[in-house]
Chain A
Amino acid sequence: MAALTEMVVHDSARHPPGKASAGRSAMARQESLAAYLFLSPALLFFGVFLVLPFLFALVLAVSDWSGFDLGTIRWAGLDNFADVLKPDGAFVKPILVNTLLFAFGSVALATAGSLLVASCIDRLRFQGFWRVLYFLPVVATVVAIGNIWKMMYQPAGLINGLLNKLGVNSVGFLSDPHLALPAVTVVHAWASIGGAVLILIAGLKAIDGTYYEAAEVDGANSWQMFWQITLPLLRPSLLFVLITQFIGGLQSFALIIVMTTDGGPVNATNVAAFEMYQQAFKFGAWGTASAMAMVLFVVIFLITLLQLWIARRKGEETS
């Protein structure tokens, strides 16, 4: 995002203010009026559906309020946060821990998988076909993905069918508290590989082929080329994939609703955004839920900063 903002600033510098002459000021005024008219739908929207709700969310997080009558709203200070973060509550452990495991697990699987697949596709013919194949889950609704995998995980489903063929007894993937979280994590990774593959292939294409030619002349094998050339030069794309997938993984809960209905068995698959959703819309605990949302927001923010920081330090080491 920092690079993005930088680019933007350079772009706007491309239009220096025109030579100020008396006749032009009326035109400039008209141009600025037109600009604001063009922007008005967007600005109005962001005011009502972004700024206002964001402030409202901040207020709710420090309020004690349930039900729908705004007259009964009370200042609660940091009580909601104390309540949410208390050590014997369920939010920190297992829910926040689950959130991190779910995000880490799916990002690790999806990134490793997409890196492998992208660098393999890059060597094949019919790349367009392979790309589309891996992208299919991105086009499907989460309801389709969730239900299909729920079906495949069933004792008489496809996966257990394969296990049975190998002589292994059926496993209750979604009913075993130890297996349920890994099971949904795998599905989330499976569904997000396609997007990462696209971005990584584009990143691979941008690497200058002469590096590989030079390395080949020097007698490097494919393994060395991958570690010494591909990986360092792919870093910007890889970082983008990591950051966006992490942000996505930390807040994603649609798949978990579809596959487990309530984050069960017994909170085994419950994640922070889902708990927020349930607190708010099942129990009407707006304050508690909003405090949870803020905690998750801060966690996402910190992890993103951490990733950027690590990436920058790594960058200084290599360059």
Chain B
Amino acid sequence: MRARRRSRFPWFSYLVVIAGGVAMVMPFLDMVMSSFKGAGEYGVLPYQLLPNSFDLANYRAAFDQLDLLRLFRNSVIVTVAVTVSVLVTSSMAGYALAKLRFRGRAIIFRFILATMMLPPFLLLIPDFLIMLNWPLVGGNDVLGRGGDGGLTTSIVSLILPFAVSGFGIFLMRQFMVSLPDEMLEAARIDGANQWQTWRLIVLPQTRPVAITLGLITFIGMWNEYIWTLLISSSNPDLMTLPVGIQLLQSFLDPDRTMPIVMAGLVISTLPVLAIFLVFQKYYVRGVVLSGLK
């Protein structure tokens, strides 16, 4: 440990880290404090950090005026569906790329790596138009019902574009490569087919990396903004927490719009913060895994 070697107390390091830490936490503290401020307390000079009282009126208003429960439900549906889908498809594709021998493996793997380099904004317009013209659900005239908005009227449109992750496949593949081949060989000798080997032998082994990937996906989707904004600005029924809180601001009590927004944001941040704090080790490892190599 280098830290032990240094005899002097690292006062400079403490100073920097604490000052920076205050800058990181202050905004969140201001969010929480403002969420309790009443009509005459917010936006007046001189600025005061603390509210006069810790009254829950803004939280009640957030539930009523923002219809927070509906936003919450949409967020949960989208986030859980995407997380499950990414975990399943990544571990399937990762297994094939790590442990199965077949023609085209190197090319497919390189293709998956290349998908990670395509910036999302480039696909925004074509993806939207594809959703709008999706066949059989009213997107075009194949089998009738054309021009209904295709998939953009369904919550499926918030899930589908995120259902598979190149990063997830990469992460799973890298992890599975290190699983011993003997273990899989033994399963095969015992008569397990590829599906059973994946399901019963490989999947249980991938738990740590699955938690990492699940967490990164969950937090990313819970906070997803641009695509959901695009789809739900014409279909308010599909709004998730971040989009709803942003777009419904104009319908709030004008005297205390910001405090109500802050109350909504506190509520929407809490679940993901709790999950992060519990599993942060896994999350940190995922970020580091993607960064080193």
Listed in ascending order, the chain A residues whose CB lies under 8 Å from chain B are 1, 3-5, 7-9, 11-12, 14-15, 17-18, 28, 30-32, 34-36, 38-39, 41-43, 45-46, 48-50, 52-54, 56-57, 60, 68, 70, 113, 116-117, 120-125, 128, 130-137, 139-145, 147-149, 151-152, 154-158, 160-162, 164, 170, 190, 193-195, 198-199, 202-203, 206, 209, 212-213, 216, 236-237, 240-241, 244, 247, 251, 253-254, 257-258, 273, 276-277, 280-281, 286, 289-290, 293-294, 296-297, 300
Q: Which residues of A contact B133 (CB under 8 A)?
A: 70
The answer to the question of B276 belonging to the interface, with a C-beta cut-off of 8 Å to chain A, is yes
B97 to chain A, nearest CB (A): 8
The answer to whether A237 touches B292, judged by C-beta atoms less than 8 angstroms apart, is yes
Listed in ascending order, the chain B residues whose CB lies under 8 Å from chain A are 1-3, 5-6, 10, 12-14, 16-17, 20-21, 23-28, 30-31, 34, 43-49, 88-90, 92-93, 95-97, 100-103, 105-106, 108-113, 115, 117-130, 132-133, 160-161, 163-164, 166, 169, 177, 193-195, 198, 219, 222-223, 225-226, 229-230, 241-243, 245-246, 258, 261-262, 265, 268-269, 272-273, 276-277, 280, 284, 287-288, 291-293
Q: Which 7 A-B pairs have the closest CB atoms?
A: A161-B47, A53-B126, A32-B102, A34-B194, A120-B13, A199-B291, A56-B126
Report the Cα distance A236→B292, complex, angstroms: 8
The answer to whether B169 touches A42, judged by C-beta atoms less than 8 angstroms apart, is yes
A207 to chain B, nearest CB (A): 9
Q: Which residues of B contact A68 (CB under 8 A)?
A: 129, 132
Report the Cα distance A213→B49, complex, angstroms: 47
Nearest to B85 among chain A residues (CB) is: A41
B265 to chain A, nearest CB (A): 4
Nearest to B29 among chain A residues (CB) is: A158
The interface centre, meaning the residue of B23, B102, B117 with most chain A CB atoms within 10 A of its CB, is B102
Known A-B contacts A32-B102, A54-B118, A143-B245; the reply to A132 vs B277 at CB < 8 A is: yes
Report the Cα distance A32→B103, complex, angstroms: 7
The answer to whether A12 touches B109, judged by C-beta atoms less than 8 angstroms apart, is yes
Nearest to A57 among chain B residues (CB) is: B126
Q: Which residues of B contact A137 (CB under 8 A)?
A: 24, 27
Known A-B contacts A156-B43, A293-B121; the reply to A148 vs B198 at CB < 8 A is: no
The answer to whether A198 touches B20, judged by C-beta atoms less than 8 angstroms apart, is no
The answer to whether B119 touches A247, judged by C-beta atoms less than 8 angstroms apart, is yes
B148 to chain A, nearest CB (A): 12
From the candidates B118, B125, B288, B292, name the one contacting A60 in the complex (CB within 8 A).
B125
Report the Cα distance A1→B110, complex, angstroms: 11
Report the Cα distance A130→B223, complex, angstroms: 23
Q: What 15 additional pairs, Cβ within 8 angstroms, besides A157-B47, A253-B121?
A: A7-B293, A31-B102, A34-B100, A46-B166, A56-B126, A57-B126, A121-B17, A139-B272, A141-B268, A143-B246, A147-B261, A199-B292, A209-B1, A237-B291, A296-B121
